[in-house]
């Protein structure tokens, strides 16, 4: 990271590591690399990068909102991947069969056009035949141009190797507005965009729900909007952020009390959806590679 200083790192090499870097102007970002034990790094390696300094969206469960300090440039985004790639593989040859670079740490990526440039450059930055790009978004209403650009990037560089994820969180419009307090695409708009996006051979589009206990997630509403051949549903736990603790939210996905989520998963499958239940490694949760920032007072992102 030529002009960037990694000021601290947490975690361990066998599960996940969180890095905090400072740019010359003093602004800081956080990025993560993680593994899925017992799979070795040569099988699957995930790098999660930030695209904004903080985030103006302020989702209910996320600590990244609040202290927003602007967009990263494409090079500042790629400095994060450079750091982890060059530390592990100085020659830039990444052998992982699946090398996933996720735009999902600090900041809503659709609010930063430089993400498109970063994605385009990423494709040839390393020798990484296993590269898969992944972008997680709440689909801000003002980002139509970004998504048009993203479609071009996918078509030009990542056919069959781009995982697009919409953070939906609730099928109830009011509840969704309370969780994601910005103007954003409705379910119909997400669905229409997905129909334009998806071509045979592409990865299915993910509808992500960071499910809280009692969240309104109605399988019939989802089925009425989304084509199950193009969209899958992913349920993730609410990460233990400060915002979650402050609001008294509780995660629906609880390995010790699976009844509510099991019922929901079955109902979604009955509607024809492929469902992924993503309960991360407990140690990974502690380290905070799913979300969880060590910056400042522990800001966190989870979209």
Binding site for ligand SF4 (CB under 6 A): 55, 57-59, 62, 64-65, 106-108, 138, 301-303
| Three-state secondary structure of 28-55 | EEEEEEECCCCCCCCCEEEEEECCECCE
Which residue in this structure is represented by tokens 């003002």?
A: 142
In sequence order, what are the residues at sequence separation of 6 or more whose Cβ sits closer than 8 angstroms to the Cβ of residue 293? 18, 30, 63, 64, 105, 106, 299, 300, 301
CB of 233 to ligand SF4, least distance (A): 18
- Residue 59 vs 222, nearer CB to ligand SF4: 59
CB of 295 to ligand SF4, least distance (A): 12
- Residue 170 vs 303, nearer CB to ligand SF4: 303
CB of 301 to ligand SF4, least distance (A): 4
- Residue 35 vs 104, nearer CB to ligand SF4: 104
Report d(CA 154, CA 119) in Å as an integer: 9
Query: Would you say 1 and 82 are in contact if contact means Cβ atoms under 8 Å apart?
Result: yes
Kindly give the residue spans of alpha helices, DSSP state H, lying in the chain: 74-88, 114-125, 144-157, 173-179, 187-197, 219-225, 242-247, 259-270, 282-287
- Residue 229 vs 247, nearer CB to ligand SF4: 247
- Residue 58 vs 269, nearer CB to ligand SF4: 58
Which residue in this structure is represented by tokens 């590269």?
A: 131
CB of 74 to ligand SF4, least distance (A): 19
Longest dimension (CA), the chain: 53
CB of 69 to ligand SF4, least distance (A): 13
- Residue 15 vs 106, nearer CB to ligand SF4: 106
Q: How far from each other are the two terminal CA atoms of the chain, in whole angstroms?
A: 26
CB of 170 to ligand SF4, least distance (A): 14
Report d(CA 278, CA 140) in Å as an integer: 24
- Residue 57 vs 101, nearer CB to ligand SF4: 57
CB of 50 to ligand SF4, least distance (A): 9
Q: Name residue 208's beta-bridge partners.
A: 167, 234
């Amino acid at each position: 990271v030529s002009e960037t200083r990694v000021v601290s790192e947490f975690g361990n090499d066998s599960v996940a590591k969180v890095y905090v870097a400072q740019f010359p102007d003093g602004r800081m970002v956080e990025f993560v690399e993680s593994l899925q034990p017992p799979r070795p790094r040569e099988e699957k390696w995930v790098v999660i990068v930030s695209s904004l300094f903080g985030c103006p969206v302020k989702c209910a469960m996320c600590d990244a909102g609040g202290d927003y300090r602007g967009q990263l440039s494409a090079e500042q985004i790629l400095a994060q991947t450079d750091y982890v790639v060059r530390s592990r593989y100085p020659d830039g040859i990444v052998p992982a069969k699946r090398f996933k670079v996720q735009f999902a740490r600090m900041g809503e990526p659709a609010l930063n056009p430089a993400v498109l440039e970063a994605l385009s450059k990423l494709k040839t930055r390393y020798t990484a035949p296993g590269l898969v790009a992944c972008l997680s978004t709440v689909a801000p209403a003002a980002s139509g141009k970004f998504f048009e650009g993203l479609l071009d990037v996918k078509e030009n560089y990542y056919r069959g190797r781009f995982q697009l994820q919409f953070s939906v969180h609730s099928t109830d419009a009011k509840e969704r507005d309370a969780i994601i307090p910005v103007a954003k695409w409705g379910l119909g708009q997400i669905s229409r965009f997905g129909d334009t996006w998806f071509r045979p051979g592409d990865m299915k589009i993910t509808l992500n729900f960071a499910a809280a206990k009692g969240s309104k997630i109605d399988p019939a509403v989802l089925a009425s909007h989304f084509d199950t051949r193009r969209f899958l549903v992913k349920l993730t736990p609410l990460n233990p952020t400060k915002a979650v603790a402050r609001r008294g939210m509780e995660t629906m996905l609880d390995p010790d009390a699976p009844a509510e989520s099991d019922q929901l998963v079955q109902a979604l499958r009955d509607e024809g959806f492929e469902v992924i239940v993503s309960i991360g490694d407990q140690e990974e949760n502690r380290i905070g590679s799913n979300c969880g920032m060590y910056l400042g007072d522990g800001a966190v992102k989870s979209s």
